[in-house]
């Protein structure tokens, strides 16, 4: 069974740092399962486009052969903490120990707008 090394996670972390509006916050792994927690700046004009793209690739790329990954929001109780600009976070995680962060980066790199840091490439309306 392959393990998600911190080097592999760092590659994915570095890639996600280049995605508009995204800031990686924390990461971890256990027994081949790994996760990265992100902040997405809700005030950024491309924030929801980024959510849409990540959700498509990581959750729903193919009806027949989905990637062994998940992308979803997490939050502490809003009534105790505040709104999404401060407390809404996002998780990227694997569901199969054989699917490493390096694999995830490769799939994202091949399918997200390119170059990933170019905001003009992300703007379908522009």
| pLDDT bracket for residue 1 (50, 70, 90) | very low
- Going from the N-terminus, what domains does the chain have, and what CATH number goes with each? 6-112 (3.30.1360)
Arithmetic mean of pLDDT, 80-96: 89
- Report pTM: 0.88
Angle at 41 between CA 39 and CA 45, to 5 degrees: 145
Helix, strand or coil for residue 70? Answer: strand
66-83 pLDDT tens trace: 899 999 999 988 888 878
pLDDT at 47 over 80: yes
| pLDDT bracket for residue 107 (50, 70, 90) | very high
Contact yes or no for 59/70 (Cβ under 8 A): yes
């Amino acid at each position: 069974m392959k393990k998600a090394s911190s080097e592999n996670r760092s590659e994915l972390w570095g890639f996600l740092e280049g995605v508009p509006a995204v800031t990686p916050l924390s990461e971890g792994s256990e027994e081949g399962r790994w996760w990265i927690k992100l902040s997405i700046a809700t005030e950024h004009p491309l924030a929801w486009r980024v959510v849409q793209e990540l959700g498509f690739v990581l959750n729903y790329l193919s009806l027949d052969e989905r990637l062994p990954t998940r992308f979803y929001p997490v939050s502490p109780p809003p009534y105790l903490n505040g709104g999404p600009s401060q407390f809404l976070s996002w998780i990227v995680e694997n569901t199969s120990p054989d699917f490493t962060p390096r694999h995830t980066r490769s799939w994202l790199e091949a399918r997200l707008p390119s170059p990933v840091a170019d905001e003009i490439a992300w703007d379908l309306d522009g």
